[in-house]
Structure 1
Amino acid sequence: MSSIQTLLKTLFKNPSTIKSQSQAKQLHAQILKTKGPSPPDLSFVLSVYSNLNLLHDSLTLFNTFHSPPTTLAWKSIIRCYTSHGLCRYSLASFVEMKAFGIYPDHNVFPSVLKSCTLIKDLRFGESVHGCIVRFGMDCDLYTCNALMNMYAKLEALAETGEQRFSAPKLFDGMPQRNQVSKFGSDLGSSVELSGRTVSLEVKSEGRMLLSDGNAKREVGGGDTLYSSQSNKLSNKLQVQVMGIDRNVNLISSRGATPQIDAYREVDDKFNGNVNKVFMHKEGKRGTKVDSVRKVFDLMPKRDIVSWNTVIAGNAQNGMYEEALAMVKDMGNANLKPDSFTLSSVLPVFAEYVDVIKGKEIHGYAIRHGFDADVFVGSSLIDMYANCNRIKDSLRVFNLLPKRDAISWNSIIAGCVQNSMFDEGLIFFRQMLMGKIKPVPVSFSSTIPACAHLTTLHLGKQLHGYIIRGDLRTMCS
């Protein structure tokens, strides 16, 4: 075996060693020179381009596939679209992938769910959820975390009437949970489906996506999709898909929507209308939390992310007792709180004005080295300020090794809240001198300080800054 082939073999085993665009292009050229344009090798190069977030190179290479792209190629292009915010193209590629009879896996679903979240398409996300259950991916940790995140952020949109699948209960089905799952998950609506019945019900009702186009295939509940139906649908989707020019220089937002609509039509027509399973009338109280919790309850494995998602969601929705109970449960599951956990629960003690418990959390943060974290520090500043312990807030702020806009805004708001108006304006001035750009919340604290101090000239200066920074609509 030549040295070049040995090098290529090593790179195939460790693609993470390729760190730059030039290295990736050298690899691409070497593969073409020594092995030719074989689909598996080109798919590997495409995955490298995608990992480096090289959209132009990824699309250029993707367009060279004359036969249907490989599974790895689809995964890579979907991930690349999502990471660049081209979410409709990500979803369109997901549909096209299915039209070619290629089954998605745990590497695809997180990117697809993230795209649904970014463009606020809950209905498509619910269909993807049914697909996840159908293919047995509802036990995958990262997929479940992405599901909880989607329901947490999008189910507020469903509060107008019909509520959709509930996400906190996905949390409880996870024998193991991680800390990402806990961070940010109390916002969803729910269908009251209990335990594993949810999984079984969705499997029978949720016959998701297209058949693979091979003969006839049983999809669930005894129903069968015949090849003629499958091919007809595949052809229809491919017509929609090919209406999107994947040429690098012709990316536009037009074209992706018909493809996604075609997917929905397939879902409604042949998949048992999985949305019926997910939609249910519920009261407003707690439905967001229920959605995330249902996802959590059904997860066979939970990591720190999973736990953090549910804790943060409870805290953000005013369910403080539930948030604290979840922290205790996390400890019982032999997972230690991290900086995200602490920054989620500290506002609870601020709300309760419980400085004793807050100090205990502060002590834990110091012992485990989280006190230097800007998010934990900002939460501590807010907590002490709410408890009328502004001196402690100042002490935390002064000990922060690094300060960002969040920590500056926290100390400014804390000073103003505790009637230290001069100090609040001084901190605002120091923030500007430190080249930290103020955000609308910065002015919501400093302008009242000017009003209390009756310093009209300072108020006018702030007004001028708002106008120059084009922040008028956000600060009005």
Structure 2
Amino acid sequence: MLHYLSMEDFGGPGAMTTSHFSLRKAVSLLNSFAKTRSLSKGLQVHAKLLVFGLTFHISNTALVAMYSLCNNIAYAQEIFEKLEPKNLYAYNMMIRGFANNGLSEKALFLYKRLLSQGLKPDNLTYPSVIKACACLNSLQAGRDVHIDAINNGYEFDSFVANSLLNMYLKCGRFEDAKDLFNRIPERTVVAWNTMIAGFSQNGRHHKALEIFDQMKVSGVLADEATMVSVLPVCANLRDVERGRAIHAYIDERGFGDNLLVRNSLIDMYAKCGCLEDARRLFNEAPQRNVISWTSMIGGYVLMGLVFEALSLFSQMQPTKVRPNSLSISILLSGCASSSFLRYGKFVHGYAIRNNIEFDVVVETALIDMYAKCGKLDLGYRLFMKTSRQRTVPWNAIISGFAQNGTAEEAVKLFKQMLQESVCPDNATIVGLIPAYANLVDIRHGMNIHGFLIKAGFDLAVEIATGLIDIYSKSGCLEFTRKIFDGIEGKDVVCYSAIIAGYGMHGHGGEVIFLYEQMLNCGLKPNEITFTSILYACSHAGLVDQGLQFFRSMVASHHIKANVDHYACIVDLLGRNGRIKEAHDIIREMPLEPNHAVWGALLGACVIHQNVELAEVAIESLLKIEPNNTGNYVLLSNLYASVGRWEDAEKVRNFMKDSGLRKMPGWSFIELKQQGLGIEPQVR
């Protein structure tokens, strides 16, 4: 490859003056171009060396360094392999090149070669090797390198220690990282930043803030990188007060004009819902890059302000900043409802015109958008055009079918995914599990559960919560409880799931016990938790407890009651004959009652033969859903049950004249169990 380089390749003999060109000057230039990552200039120097025959050991070593740092690994490796003898500097540069270009296994192999040659690694060797271990998530290899560094006296070298901290954090070994961090004699700002970023990126946001506070107490001054690490923590916690305090510190230190810091501030305010603050920072920015625009667009989408996001996207077009795949995917996520389908198609058109339609992030967002808009046919057509060897598009289409009530198709797609040797990940399973829950079949539930165990999946909280939903809906509360009890780090979502499971089967006492247990664990219930609790109280006849929970939700937990909560309360009172109270609740609602609220009242009136309020309920229901035959049938049956046969006949005749027909009830049996028929892929 390198044998064909000539001066003509780099502009001819005049491209670089030949006067005073020497080996020393060439090496100096190569070192300079390596630092500035000037590959084209480095190529010219290499051509000069070939022309003048100055291919000595020192120049070839400098070439290895230049090509490695300029990410031209093929050239660097060819020169390195011919270099004899290979010194530590050449090894360091080659290992660094491999590590920086994602060739982690080659970096580790070369490190072993270095040791076999009797060379002693130094503080430039270890950071690259440790980075390769982190990229491979190879904890054991990382530990081995750590021991080497200790034996050679480099454990507390600033570069080595920071690399080790990063490696342990990426491998999820938080205690190892903390132990090393606490033993470092002089902790630099880089070490503190590494710890803050590592805990934040692993979802341990409160711990990241705790470390940031410890840093301030220690007297180490934060820098711009600290701000870029800690602001996303505030964004993820939606802690705008802490974010404002950090913003004040940024102004005090004069970091505000740093583009990365300003982008982090925009993102923090946007994710905390403070869009005015975010937009002010955006408008006042001396310069903006694609991250600035994307953060602001993402903030609008997050708050449901899709038109504002689309407007900002339009304003972006005349500028020199081009949207990237993330910008497009965020816009598409905002258009993922039927009311915005038209705009989603416009964004799709933009992606086609700008040749980013087949970027995997955009592909996945498009499939997801069409699926959530109910256009599964369009989503599936896009999916069939993708490279189906990647997991992410499969996740989008499987989740799309599962969310649109086509559970069988979702399961079939999962089976096809495995047949095409595409490995599912946690996101695949989280998207698939609702399909199994909707099948309401204990055998299918046990099938997927067994697959997960045999395939080596860790039953993380999200997956375990899905299994709780499957077994609950299948009526197998024993399995439900076993899975719940085995979850480490239970969150409000898994508590809400098991509360809903016991609630749907009328186990009100167990629901109350689990709710109290959740509070004792320091978890705060959310809207869904209370919906499940109120539903459970309704079906278990726990009227007073249900009303107490409703009052507590509003007064103690400051959760605004939604229409589902009111429907549960109306059902709770109505089932127990307190129909007038239920009607009073509806009249006093600060929200517009929907079909579920009036339907709950109508159902209670039928049970307790209250014709007067049934007529009030049916009058509202006919405005909301005039074609729902079930409401007419309930009213007709109520009239018949109290002997008002003429009124019952009038309702039936009205249905007939209006062309409304009651759909006959149906049930099904599975004549031949198909199952998944899958072989687990061991992870």
1:25 is aligned to 46
Taking a change above 3 Å as real, the CA distance of residues 23 and 331 of structure 1, as seen in their structure-2 partners, is farther
2:515 is aligned to none
Question: By how many angstroms is 1:356 displaced?
Answer: 3.8
Identity across the alignment (%)? 30
Residue 152 (structure 2) pairs with residue 135 (structure 1): yes
Query: Could you tell me how far apart the structure 2 residues matched to 1:31 and 1:46 are?
Result: 19
Taking a change above 3 Å as real, the CA distance of residues 96 and 439 of structure 1, as seen in their structure-2 partners, is same
Report the residue type matching 1:17 in the other structure: S
Report the 3-state secondary structure (helix = DSSP H, G, I; strand = E; otherwise coil) of the residue aligned with 2:242: helix
Question: By how many angstroms is 1:338 displaced?
Answer: 1.9
1:469 is aligned to 357
Residue 296 (structure 2) pairs with residue 411 (structure 1): yes
Report the 3-state secondary structure (helix = DSSP H, G, I; strand = E; otherwise coil) of the residue aligned with 2:118: coil
Q: Within 5 A, what are the aligned runs for 1:21-420?
A: 21-22=42-43, 24-25=45-46, 28=49, 33=54, 37=56, 39=57, 42-66=60-84, 68-153=85-170, 155=171, 188-189=172-173, 289-350=174-235, 353-420=238-305
2:307 is aligned to 422
Taking a change above 3 Å as real, the CA distance of residues 427 and 133 of structure 1, as seen in their structure-2 partners, is same
CA contact (8 A) 1:422 1:449 kept: no
Report the 3-state secondary structure (helix = DSSP H, G, I; strand = E; otherwise coil) of the residue aligned with 1:136: coil
Report the residue type matching 2:133 in the other structure: C
Question: By how many angstroms is 1:377 displaced?
Answer: 2.4
Question: By how many angstroms is 1:138 displaced?
Answer: 0.6
Query: Could you tell me how far apart the structure 2 residues matched to 1:124 and 1:60 are?
Result: 27
Question: By how many angstroms is 1:310 displaced?
Answer: 0.8
Query: Could you tell me how far apart the structure 2 residues matched to 1:317 and 1:52 are?
Result: 31
Query: Could you tell me how far apart the structure 2 residues matched to 1:113 and 1:341 are?
Result: 22
CA contact (8 A) 2:328 2:347 kept: no
CA contact (8 A) 1:415 1:424 kept: yes
Taking a change above 3 Å as real, the CA distance of residues 60 and 450 of structure 1, as seen in their structure-2 partners, is closer
Question: By how many angstroms is 1:426 displaced?
Answer: 0.8
Question: By how many angstroms is 1:433 displaced?
Answer: 4.8
Question: By how many angstroms is 1:423 displaced?
Answer: 0.8
CA contact (8 A) 1:451 1:459 kept: no
Question: By how many angstroms is 1:441 displaced?
Answer: 6.5
Query: Could you tell me how far apart the structure 2 residues matched to 1:75 and 1:27 are?
Result: 25
Report the residue type matching 1:358 in the other structure: G
Question: By how many angstroms is 1:380 displaced?
Answer: 2.0
2:412 is aligned to none
CA contact (8 A) 1:40 1:70 kept: no
Taking a change above 3 Å as real, the CA distance of residues 332 and 70 of structure 1, as seen in their structure-2 partners, is same
Taking a change above 3 Å as real, the CA distance of residues 343 and 17 of structure 1, as seen in their structure-2 partners, is closer
Taking a change above 3 Å as real, the CA distance of residues 143 and 443 of structure 1, as seen in their structure-2 partners, is same
Report the 3-state secondary structure (helix = DSSP H, G, I; strand = E; otherwise coil) of the residue aligned with 2:79: helix
CA contact (8 A) 1:342 1:376 kept: yes
Taking a change above 3 Å as real, the CA distance of residues 31 and 338 of structure 1, as seen in their structure-2 partners, is farther
Per-residue CA shift, 1:67-93, capped at 9, x if unaligned? Answer: x42222222222233333333222221
Query: Could you tell me how far apart the structure 2 residues matched to 1:46 and 1:316 are?
Result: 34
1:238 is aligned to none
Report the residue type matching 1:59 in the other structure: Q
Provide structure 1 residue ranges, at least 5 long, that are not aligned to the other structure: 156-187, 190-288
Taking a change above 3 Å as real, the CA distance of residues 369 and 98 of structure 1, as seen in their structure-2 partners, is same
Question: By how many angstroms is 1:61 displaced?
Answer: 2.6
Query: Could you tell me how far apart the structure 1 residues matched to 2:209 and 2:155 are?
Result: 27
Residue 458 (structure 2) pairs with residue 443 (structure 1): no
CA contact (8 A) 1:11 1:17 kept: no
CA contact (8 A) 2:73 2:97 kept: yes
Report the 3-state secondary structure (helix = DSSP H, G, I; strand = E; otherwise coil) of the residue aligned with 1:85: coil
Per-residue CA shift, 1:257-293, capped at 9, x if unaligned? Answer: xxxxxxxxxxxxxxxxxxxxxxxxxxxxxxxx32332
Question: By how many angstroms is 1:414 displaced?
Answer: 1.8
CA contact (8 A) 1:443 1:462 kept: no
Report the residue type matching 2:292 in the other structure: S
CA contact (8 A) 1:450 1:458 kept: no
Question: By how many angstroms is 1:424 displaced?
Answer: 1.4
CA contact (8 A) 1:405 1:436 kept: yes
CA contact (8 A) 2:29 2:45 kept: no
Report the residue type matching 2:32 in the other structure: T
Question: By how many angstroms is 1:450 displaced?
Answer: 6.5
- Report which of the two structures shows the higher radius of gyration computed on alpha carbons: 2
Question: By how many angstroms is 1:318 displaced?
Answer: 4.8
Taking a change above 3 Å as real, the CA distance of residues 52 and 357 of structure 1, as seen in their structure-2 partners, is closer
Taking a change above 3 Å as real, the CA distance of residues 71 and 384 of structure 1, as seen in their structure-2 partners, is closer
Query: Could you tell me how far apart the structure 1 residues matched to 2:225 and 2:292 are?
Result: 15
Higher-helix-fraction structure = 2
Question: By how many angstroms is 1:306 displaced?
Answer: 1.2
Question: By how many angstroms is 1:136 displaced?
Answer: 1.8
CA contact (8 A) 1:432 1:438 kept: no
Taking a change above 3 Å as real, the CA distance of residues 387 and 125 of structure 1, as seen in their structure-2 partners, is closer
CA contact (8 A) 2:169 2:199 kept: no
CA contact (8 A) 2:133 2:142 kept: yes
Query: Could you tell me how far apart the structure 1 residues matched to 2:290 and 2:325 are?
Result: 8
Matched pairs, number: 336
Query: Could you tell me how far apart the structure 2 residues matched to 1:444 and 1:80 are?
Result: 34
CA contact (8 A) 1:78 1:112 kept: yes
Per-residue CA shift, 1:95-118, capped at 9, x if unaligned? Answer: 111111112111111111222233
CA contact (8 A) 1:412 1:442 kept: no
Query: Could you tell me how far apart the structure 2 residues matched to 1:48 and 1:31 are?
Result: 19
Taking a change above 3 Å as real, the CA distance of residues 376 and 45 of structure 1, as seen in their structure-2 partners, is closer
Query: Could you tell me how far apart the structure 2 residues matched to 1:103 and 1:290 are?
Result: 29
Question: By how many angstroms is 1:307 displaced?
Answer: 0.8
1:253 is aligned to none
Residue 460 (structure 2) pairs with residue 460 (structure 1): no
Question: By how many angstroms is 1:49 displaced?
Answer: 4.1
Q: CA RMSD in A?
A: 3.4
More displaced, 441-450 or 412-421? 441-450
CA contact (8 A) 1:416 1:446 kept: no
Per-residue CA shift, 1:171-211, capped at 9, x if unaligned? Answer: xxxxxxxxxxxxxxxxx22xxxxxxxxxxxxxxxxxxxxxx
Report the 3-state secondary structure (helix = DSSP H, G, I; strand = E; otherwise coil) of the residue aligned with 1:63: helix
Question: By how many angstroms is 1:47 displaced?
Answer: 3.2
Report the residue type matching 1:115 in the other structure: A
Report the residue type matching 2:150 in the other structure: V
1:160 is aligned to none
Larger RCO, structures 1/2 (Cα 8 Å, 6+ apart): 1
Per-residue CA shift, 1:336-356, capped at 9, x if unaligned? Answer: 222221233224444555444
Question: By how many angstroms is 1:142 displaced?
Answer: 0.9
Query: Could you tell me how far apart the structure 2 residues matched to 1:24 and 1:299 are?
Result: 43
Report the residue type matching 1:82 in the other structure: A
CA contact (8 A) 1:152 1:292 kept: yes
